[in-house]
Amino acid sequence: MRLALISLLPALLAPLSGHSQDIRTPVDPVPQISVAAQHEVKVSPDRATIQISVQTRAATAAAAASQNATKLQSVLAAHRALGLTSDQLSTMNYNVHPDYVHREGREPTITGYNVTNTILADVRQLSQVGRVIDAALSQGANMMTSLQFYASNTEAARRTAIAGAIAKARADAEAAASAAGGSLGQLIDISIGAHFPRPPQPMHRMEARATAGMADTPIQPGQESLIVMVSTRWRFNSGR
């Protein structure tokens, strides 16, 4: 009886083995079309940031720092008189370095010290940008190292750029599907990348001028470019 049971095992396992093979049968992948696209939208800036520096030189570091502090206090007072608040004015950098003279065969000699104090002014009314620059120059600022315009609210423009990028992706996917002899199916996956605003605009060094009869500095902010990138995957319906 025991031998008979053992002899039945191969017959019982055969159907199970065949069923296991059926489960492992590979399934054909769904044909897809992958498309990336980007769309650019122009927005009008409504704010600006300006890097303003006061640079002074004296025989000693203490004297240069004292002169610098006096001039910068005047610059800040002029900005506050224009309505800029403390949260719109912040220190960006403070630097002290000596000046050397080099003579052949001798050790370098210190001839004086330079002190540079740089502040960042966040101007929230574009009509004030020229006045902020002129006020700083008239009170002792002698370097303007950066001027950047930006839009304080870009949400609506970003969504417009997203819609435009997706429309471009769909059009490209439809063209690819038609060229391949089929049609475009449903959207499978979409990924939205970060938006890219225009980089800062550099400014050359601007020297202080006398205030009497000085015309306002003209400022033209132009427009800011906002670019959004998307990646999409679509089902491809073959013509078979």
Whole-number pLDDT of residue 107:
87
Q: Which of 39, 76, 10, 47 is nearest to 221 (CA)?
A: 47
CA pair distance 164, 158, nearest whole angstrom: 10
Please state, rounded to an integer, the average pLDDT across all residues of the chain: 84
22: exposed, middle or buried (C-beta count within 10 Å: 0-12, 13-18, 19+)?
exposed
Q: Which of 210, 218, 70, 51 is nearest to 131 (CA)?
A: 218
Question: Is the distance from CB of 85 to CB of 121 less than 8 angstroms?
Answer: no
Domain span at residue 162? 29-44+153-201+223-240
* Domain-embedded: residue 216: no
CA pair distance 63, 66, nearest whole angstrom: 5
In a shared domain, residues 85 and 142: yes
Question: Which token pair is 142?
Answer: 């002698």
Amino acid at 97: H
Q: Per residue in 118-156, pLDDT tens?
A: 999 999 999 999 999 999 999 999 999 899 999 988 899
The beta-strand segments (E) located in the chain are 32-43, 47-58, 89-101, 109-123, 143-150, 183-196, 201-202, 224-237
In a shared domain, residues 80 and 95: yes
Whole-number pLDDT of residue 14:
52
pLDDT exceeding 90 applies to what percent of the chain? 65
In a shared domain, residues 93 and 142: yes
CA pair distance 207, 66, nearest whole angstrom: 21
pLDDT exceeding 70 applies to what percent of the chain? 79
Of all helices (H) and strands (E), which one includes residue 124?
A: none
* Domain-embedded: residue 118: yes
Read off the pTM: 0.67
In a shared domain, residues 52 and 135: yes
What is the Cα 52 distance to its own chain's centre?
A: 22
What is the gyration radius of the CA atoms in the chain, in angstroms?
A: 34
Question: Taking residues 51-66, what's their average pLDDT?
Answer: 97
CA pair distance 226, 165, nearest whole angstrom: 12
- 25-34, 54-63, 200-209: segment of lowest average pLDDT: 200-209
CATH number for the domain including 159? 3.30.110.170
Q: Per residue in 82-127, pLDDT tens?
A: 999 999 999 999 999 999 998 888 888 999 999 999 999 999 999 9
**Total tally of structural domains belonging to the chain:** 2
In a shared domain, residues 38 and 117: no
In a shared domain, residues 52 and 145: yes
Question: Taking residues 48-76, what's their average pLDDT?
Answer: 97
Whole-number pLDDT of residue 52:
97
* Domain-embedded: residue 2: no
CA pair distance 51, 74, nearest whole angstrom: 16
Q: Which residue has the higher pLDDT, 189 or 28?
A: 189
Q: Which of 165, 166, 185 is nearest to 174 (CA)?
A: 185
Q: In this structure, what is the dihedral angle of CA atoms 119, 124, 127, 130, given to the nearest 10 degrees? A: 10
Q: Which of 82, 49, 50 is nearest to 151 (CA)?
A: 49
Number of neighbours of residue 95 by Cβ within 10 angstroms: 11
Which range has highest mean pLDDT (66-75, 192-201, 205-214, 219-228)? 66-75
* Domain-embedded: residue 88: yes
